[in-house]
Amino acid sequence: MTDAPGARGTARQAPTHPHPATAGHPTVLTGATVVLPTGPVEHGQVTIDGPHITHSAPDNAQVIHAPGHYVIPGFVDLHNHGGGGASFTSGSVDDILKGIHTHRLHGTTTLVASTVTGDMDSLTHRAGLLSELAEQGDVAGIHFEGPFISPCRKGAHSEALLRDPHPADVRKLIDAARGRAKMLTLATELPGGLDSVRLLAEHGVIAAIGHTDATYEQTVEAIDAGATVATHLFNAMPPLGHRSPGPITALLEDDRITVELINDGTHLHPAALQLAFHHVGADRVAFITDAMDAAGFGDGRYWLGPLEVEVADGVARLTEDGTIAGSTLTLDRAFKRAVTVDGLSVEDAVTALSATPARLLGMADTIGSLEPGKYADLLLLDADFELKGVMRRGEWVVPPQLG
């Protein structure tokens, strides 16, 4: 994979929003059902002063009455390749900022930028660019998805660019990210896989098992070596079998593993999602988008790394063979589907979309729940779970719509 025209350049000191939000002002949100770590509080109140949630607000605070609404934490997306017509894998800095802003408009206040399989030079260059954006606070870090994955379960990755996960190559990506690598997905059964898992764990990078053809026993070995996440569980791995339980069983049964789930109605049958969710519980589920450029943008032709993608009726597939190629999901849709289709409680959906991924990223002290001292990253939803306001760091990205 090579960078798209105009993609080479460095991150600049610039506003983090392509369309800057209204300046922050001390605010009190009152009258809504506030979803706290201890559960929903009816007729609750959240006070914001500066970028943080506080115990109390100044006398001159703006008071916003929101009866019949919910206030929940901003969403945290661990796995996202782009949106708004822009790619995190090949786009310019302005493209990346556009994609970030698109997802913020849909409630994702913290986002990890994911790459796709490419040659090592392009991946290390991309890591350097994304690390600068992470240093500026635009993204929470970098997730490398590929090239260390199984050709048997490659999904929408170029087979010609796949390679075994030799620790020296894994280390190159870690170093190129300059401390901003958060997660790397690999097929741990490949040569070098277990040593690479240990290397990642030593450097504080999440080792995620995915795009794998591993057996049950090989997956258990990887977990014991330090893997802690299942990349989009069920997708791009052998199915569960009663004589050959495969990686799915090993990933579900071990409390050390958090499972990613793509809740768009395409990647998973609702029964499969409910099987996973109710087996492991909200504390071990992270809903993700796995979004590509078309998220929040529309149908059409796109590129995912070097592969062409056709998006029709909101479903992304490779033009060459029809393989699902990421998603067009935004997390506000994932949340609404969780509570209205999947029958999850609001508090469990909040945990899977905010608290659990925040904990995985090591950011639970600043984001992921509505508590004094944490960032004022919050969402306002109506009674039908439609997004009616987005605040990030105490500033409205989407001003309250309470009409």
DSSP state of 152: G
For residues 48 and 391, give the distance between their C-alpha atoms in angstroms, rounded to a whole number: 10
- Is the Cβ–Cβ distance between 162 and 147 less than 8 Å? yes
- The two tokens of residue 129 are 């660019």
Q: Which of 290, 293, 332, 348 is catalytic?
A: 290
CA–centroid distance for 24 within its chain: 26
- Is the Cβ–Cβ distance between 217 and 244 less than 8 Å? no
Report how far apart, in Å, the C-alpha atoms of 163 and of each of 112, 136, 155, 159 are. 23, 32, 15, 9
Question: Going by C-beta distance under 8 Å and a sequence separation of 6 or more, which residues neighbour residue 53?
Answer: 46, 47, 370, 371, 372, 373, 374, 375, 376, 378
E strands, 271-343, are 285-288, 300-304, 307-312, 315-318
Residue 3 a catalytic site member = no
For residues 326 and 335, give the distance between their C-alpha atoms in angstroms, rounded to a whole number: 18
For residues 3 and 377, give the distance between their C-alpha atoms in angstroms, rounded to a whole number: 32
Q: What is the pairing mode between strands 62-65 and 27-36? A: parallel
Amino acid at 32: A
Question: Going by C-beta distance under 8 Å and a sequence separation of 6 or more, which residues neighbour residue 362?
Answer: 204
Candidates 156, 90, 160; CA nearest to 309 is 156
For the stretch 338-343, contacts whose Cβ atoms lie closer than 8 Å and that sit 24 or more positions apart, written own/partner, are 338/263, 338/287, 339/385, 340/385, 341/265, 341/270, 342/263, 342/270, 342/273, 342/274, 342/277, 343/274
> Read out DSSP for 242-269?
SS--HHHHHHHH-TT-EEEEE-SSSSS-
Cα torsion angle, 38, 40, 44, 45, sign:
positive
Catalytic residues: 290
